[in-house]
Structure 1
Amino acid sequence: MAEVTITEGDLLAAALAKAGRQAFLGGEGGVSYLILAVAPAGQDSEERAYGGPHLLMYAGEHADRPAAEHREPWSAHLHGAYGDYVATVFDGSPAPLDAAADTELCATKVLAWLGEYLGDVAPRPENA
Structure 2
Amino acid sequence: MTSTPTTEGDLLRAELAALGRHAFLGGEGGMSYLIMAVEPTTQGDETAAYGVPHILMYAGEQADRPATAHREPWSAHLHGATGDYVATIFDGSPTPLDAAADAALCARHVTAWLQSYLGHFPTPPKRFCTSN
| Fold match (TM-score > 0.5) | yes
Gaps of 5+ in 2: 125-132
* Secondary structure of the corresponding residue to residue 71 of structure 2: coil
Cα distance in 2, alignment partners of residues 103 and 122 from structure 1: 21
* Residue 80 of structure 1 pairs with residue 52 of structure 2: no
Cα distance in 2, alignment partners of residues 72 and 39 from structure 1: 28
C-alpha offsets along residues 24-74 of structure 1, whole Å, 9 cap, x if unaligned? 000000000000100001112111111110000000000000000000000
For residue 63 of structure 1, what is the amino acid of its counterpart? Answer: A
Higher relative contact order (CA 8 A, sep 6+): 2
- The answer as to whether partners of 1:115 and 1:123 remain within 8 angstroms in 2 is no
- The answer as to whether partners of 1:111 and 1:122 remain within 8 angstroms in 2 is no
Query: How many residue pairs are counted as aligned between the two chains?
Result: 124
* Alpha-carbon RMSD: 1.1
For residue 94 of structure 1, what is the amino acid of its counterpart? Answer: P
Equivalent position of 1:92 in the other structure: 92
Q: TM-score, normalized by length of structure 2?
A: 0.90
* Secondary structure of the corresponding residue to residue 81 of structure 2: coil
Cα distance in 1, alignment partners of residues 37 and 109 from structure 2: 15
Runs of 4+ in 1 over 4 A off after TM superposition: none
Equivalent position of 2:61 in the other structure: 61
Cα distance in 1, alignment partners of residues 92 and 122 from structure 2: 22
* Residue 47 of structure 1 pairs with residue 54 of structure 2: no
Note closer, same or farther for the CA distance 1:22–1:120 as it changes in structure 2 (3 Å cut). same
Cα distance in 2, alignment partners of residues 122 and 76 from structure 1: 20
Alignment of 1:96-115 (within 5 A): 96-115=96-115
For residue 85 of structure 2, what is the amino acid of its counterpart? Answer: Y
C-alpha offsets along residues 51-104 of structure 1, whole Å, 9 cap, x if unaligned? 110000000000000000000000000000000000000000111111011011
Cα distance in 2, alignment partners of residues 123 and 92 from structure 1: 26
- The answer as to whether partners of 1:74 and 1:106 remain within 8 angstroms in 2 is yes
For residue 11 of structure 1, what is the amino acid of its counterpart? Answer: L
